[in-house]
Amino acid sequence: MRRLSILLIILLASCARPSSVDLEPFIGGKEGVQASFADLREHVFDGGNDPFDVVIRIDNGGEAAISRDNIVVRLDGINPLAFGKTEDQLTRRPTDDVLANEQRADGVIKSPAQFLEFQGLNHLTTITGSKLQYPLRAHVCYTYATQAVSKFCVRRNILNPQEGPCNVDEPKPVHNSGAPIHVVNVKETARGADKVGISFDIKHVGSGKPYAKGSGCPDLEKQRNRVFVRIDTAMKGLECTGLSRAGDFVEGTVQLFDGVKTVTCTQAVPKGDFEQPFDVSVNYDYETFAQTTLVVKHAGDRTGQVTLQAE
């Protein structure tokens, strides 16, 4: 009986202490859209008598939805005219919007895959020799977004705080939605009697390439590695280096160098002892691709095949 009483006391004491565990508000992850070749057809030959289709599967691995108008898939690596097509015919958009993966109380709702068909490709001429290889690449450009949530500490006496619910001068936890751009390394420092400093890094964590939002992923230096960031602390008096005030937010375009950009802000704070959540959203265009080798064989050898070999 005595042992049971001791256990109950320990249990009640542990329940009375505030939990230091941060609940994860997002599914998380480092992926956005992923492309792959699906239903790869064999037994296609040269000479213009054996048309074939190429099907691209699009999977959304993250937590941002994409309008069908904001994603485009283009087949590269082959001359469209050699396969009986124009350049426009080798460019497609999905028929439906690409849905986001959603985390709900009863589990995760997965985004359904989309399939884009490029129909009736046909190698029109006769090749020299028994076979010819082409690199076949599905190039994907889409508009995406990252949502991040963190907190900073407000104290009545910032410069000489006593024991309290939170500490100013320390790194802060941050949670990111599933996306190839993350907000990391959130820090808070004391800046004065009524101001705190907040800094964080915007970091490229994916395997593709980020571009300025709405740019369409052009291979231009002025558009590469640029993202649009918006910060909302739900407080007045936020100022961030290189960004501008827009209503209740501070926002602007920043450039990543070696995949990282540090954003530094100053926030005026009221008197009080509490933690204040703040949101960061990052918007951008993003480029990724899937590639395979297209091997065309001479139609004179009907035992040969055209095969798509994933690299």
**Tens digits of residue pLDDT in 176-190:** 999 999 999 999 999
With 60 as the cut, is the pLDDT of residue 304 above it?
A: no
| Neighbouring C-beta atoms of residue 9, cutoff 10 Å | 10
pLDDT of residue 173: 96
Span 288-293, average pLDDT: 95
With 50 as the cut, is the pLDDT of residue 119 above it?
A: yes
With 50 as the cut, is the pLDDT of residue 306 above it?
A: no
Contact at 8 Å (CB) between 135 and 287?
Answer: no
With 80 as the cut, is the pLDDT of residue 136 above it?
A: yes
Q: pLDDT per residue over 186-225, tens digit each?
A: 999 999 999 999 999 999 999 999 999 999 999 899 999 9
pLDDT of residue 301: 57
Question: What span, in angstroms and rounded, lies between the C-alpha atoms of 30 and 80?
Answer: 34
Q: pLDDT per residue over 230-284, tens digit each?
A: 999 999 999 999 999 998 899 999 999 999 999 999 999 999 999 999 999 999 9
Domain 145-285 fold is Immunoglobulin-like (2.60.40)
Task: Give the three-state DSSP class for 10.
Answer: helix
pLDDT of residue 42: 65
Question: What span, in angstroms and rounded, lies between the C-alpha atoms of 37 and 57?
Answer: 6
pLDDT of residue 10: 37
Span 3-27, average pLDDT: 49
With 80 as the cut, is the pLDDT of residue 80 above it?
A: yes
Question: What span, in angstroms and rounded, lies between the C-alpha atoms of 202 and 227?
Answer: 9
The beta strand positions in the chain, using DSSP E, are 33-38, 52-60, 71-76, 91-92, 102-104, 107-109, 114-121, 131-154, 170-172, 174-176, 181-192, 195-204, 209-211, 226-232, 238-240, 244-246, 249-255, 260-268, 274-297, 307-310
pLDDT of residue 7: 37
Residue where the block lists tokens 């007045």: 236
Query: Does this chain's domain 33-143+288-310 share its CATH topology with 145-285?
Result: yes
Question: What is the domain partition of the chain in residue ranges?
Answer: 33-143+288-310, 145-285
Q: pLDDT per residue over 271-287, tens digit each?
A: 999 999 999 999 999 99
With 50 as the cut, is the pLDDT of residue 113 above it?
A: yes
Q: What is the pTM of this model?
A: 0.87
Task: Give the three-state DSSP class for 270.
Answer: coil
Please enumerate in sequence order all residues whose Cβ is within 8 A of that of 163, keeping only pairs 6 or more positions apart, or say none: none
Tell me whether residue 193 is exposed, middle or buried, using C-beta atoms within 10 angstroms of its C-beta: 0 to 12, 13 to 18, 19 or more.
Answer: exposed
At the second CATH level, the architecture of 33-143+288-310 is Sandwich (2.60)
pLDDT of residue 24: 84
- Supply the Cα-derived Rg of the chain in whole angstroms: 27
Q: pLDDT per residue over 89-112, tens digit each?
A: 999 999 999 999 999 888 899 999
CA angle 251, 278, 154 (to 5 degrees): 120
Residue 70, beta-bridge partner list: none
pLDDT of residue 247: 87
Q: pLDDT per residue over 141-186, tens digit each?
A: 999 999 999 999 999 999 888 888 999 999 999 999 999 999 999 9
Helix (H) or strand (E) holding 242: none
The sign one gets for the Cα dihedral 234, 236, 239, 245 is positive
